[in-house]
């Protein structure tokens, strides 16, 4: 299969984009050069109507994204269609989706991740050992500086990052892999029963972004982590997603982070299960740079590894593949 769409892209509007040349017109020009039939811009967005965004999301609003897009959505781009989407967020710790029904009305499609597991205490709770370590620091501060108000003690202890605490308490033994894998599955299950997602499903195309790809885990170790996700658990999640009419994203960036060898790539195995459960797919690079858009070439290899035909592709992007 030839994949001629990329609907997971971040440009300068996303806070994590470091390519200062990654403007909307630069992306459009590059996608046209690559011969794409459909290009979707999907910056990180938290709907300003939904209270509870972290500081990181506070400026990544729908209003700002629309301003950044400017008039490009309506411009002509040769034979290539431009779609306005976003990658929103799901805070599993609070069962909170960062997109309201009204907010979703601004978009052609949504990408929703469950596995931004590096967002501690938002998507995934602190490891229990880290919670204890933080409590110990707080207790020490309270003892040495009894004049400090409680709120300051809380704030000071909260500023210590996981990496700091691991250094302060080198004796900590944390089974990181077990916690991450549990969260990886729990967050997927929780997202699927989120009341807001259930309202949105079917109203506009929604694709689950990089499902099961644990963000924050070293790339070289991802295969090892993912080996512990059981086939039957993946099948249960994908069956539920297919029943709700949700699409599953084939995130070429996340897949190739695991391995460029499609025969030794646990994400490919998991997405094969998704196909068997009747899921349909969308493709995206998750590029944060102009150059990164070239990774879509690997989409063809992903499609071939999964033996996809156009019938396996989500209807709204189906014109942008060739069997
Ligand atoms: Zn993501
Ligand atoms: Zn992304």
pLDDT classification of 20: cutoffs 50, 70, 90: confident
Cβ atoms of residues 249 and 286 within 8 Å: no
**pLDDT computed for residue 67 by the predictor:** 84
- Check pLDDT > 90 for residue 264: yes
Of 35, 119, 28, 38, nearest to 70 by C-alpha is 28
Task: Give distance in angstroms: CA of 152 to centre of ligand 1.
Answer: 33
- Check pLDDT > 90 for residue 323: yes
- Check pLDDT > 80 for residue 74: no
Of 55, 64, 53, nearest to 98 by C-alpha is 53
**pLDDT computed for residue 12 by the predictor:** 81
pLDDT for 190-233, tens place per residue?
Answer: 999 999 999 999 999 999 999 999 999 999 999 999 999 999 99
pLDDT classification of 52: cutoffs 50, 70, 90: very high
Task: Give distance in angstroms: CA of 210 to centre of ligand 1.
Answer: 7
**pLDDT computed for residue 251 by the predictor:** 98
Task: Give distance in angstroms: CA of 66 to centre of ligand 2.
Answer: 18
Tell me the torsion sign for CA atoms 138, 142, 145, 149.
positive
DSSP H/E element including 209: strand 206-209
How large is the C-alpha radius of gyration of the chain? 21
Of 106, 118, 122, nearest to 47 by C-alpha is 106
* Average pLDDT score over residue span 43-60: 94
Least confident of 77-81, 243-247, 312-316: 77-81
pLDDT for 4-18, tens place per residue?
Answer: 999 999 998 888 988
**pLDDT computed for residue 72 by the predictor:** 80
**pLDDT computed for residue 204 by the predictor:** 97
**pLDDT computed for residue 297 by the predictor:** 97
The ligand minimizing its distance to the Cα of 10 is 2
The ligand minimizing its distance to the Cα of 112 is 1
Of 290, 305, 207, 208, nearest to 256 by C-alpha is 305
Least confident of 103-107, 131-135, 159-163, 268-272: 159-163
**pLDDT computed for residue 122 by the predictor:** 96
240 or 67, which is more confident: 240
Task: Give distance in angstroms: CA of 113 to centre of ligand 1.
Answer: 6
Task: Give distance in angstroms: CA of 157 to centre of ligand 2.
Answer: 30
- Check pLDDT > 80 for residue 272: yes
Task: Give distance in angstroms: CA of 253 to centre of ligand 2.
Answer: 9
């Amino acid at each position: 299969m030839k994949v001629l769409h990329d609907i997971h892209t971040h440009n300068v509007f996303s806070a994590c984009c470091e390519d200062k040349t990654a403007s909307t017109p630069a992306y459009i020009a590059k996608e046209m050069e690559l011969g794409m039939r459909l290009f979707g811009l999907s910056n990180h967005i938290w709907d300003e109507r939904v209270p509870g965004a972290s500081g990181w999301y506070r400026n990544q609003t729908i209003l700002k994204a629309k301003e950044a897009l400017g008039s490009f959505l309506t411009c002509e781009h040769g034979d290539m269609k431009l779609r306005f989407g976003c990658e929103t967020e799901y805070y599993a710790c609070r069962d909170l989706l960062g997109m309201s029904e009204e907010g979703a009305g601004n978009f052609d499609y949504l990408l929703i991740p469950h596995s931004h597991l590096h967002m501690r205490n938002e998507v995934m709770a602190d490891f229990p050992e880290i919670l204890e370590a933080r409590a110990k620091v707080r207790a020490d501060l309270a003892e040495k500086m009894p004049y400090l108000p409680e709120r300051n003690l809380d704030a000071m202890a909260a500023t210590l990052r996981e990496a700091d605490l691991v250094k302060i308490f080198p004796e900590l033994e944390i089974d990181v892999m077990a916690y991450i894998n549990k969260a990886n599955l729990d967050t997927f299950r929780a997202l699927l029963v989120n009341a807001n997602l259930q309202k949105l499903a079917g109203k506009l195309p929604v694709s689950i972004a990089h499902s099961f790809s644990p963000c924050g885990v070293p790339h070289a170790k991802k295969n090892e982590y993912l080996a512990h996700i059981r086939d039957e658990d993946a099948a249960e999640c994908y069956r539920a997603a297919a029943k709700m009419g949700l699409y599953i994203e084939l995130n070429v960036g996340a897949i190739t982070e695991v391995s460029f060898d499609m025969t030794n790539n646990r994400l490919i195995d998991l997405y094969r299960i998704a196909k068997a459960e009747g899921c349909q797919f969308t493709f995206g690079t998750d590029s944060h740079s102009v150059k990164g858009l070239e990774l879509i070439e690997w989409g063809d290899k992903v499609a071939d590894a999964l033996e996809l035909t156009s019938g396996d592709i989500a209807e709204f992007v189906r014109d942008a593949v060739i069997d």
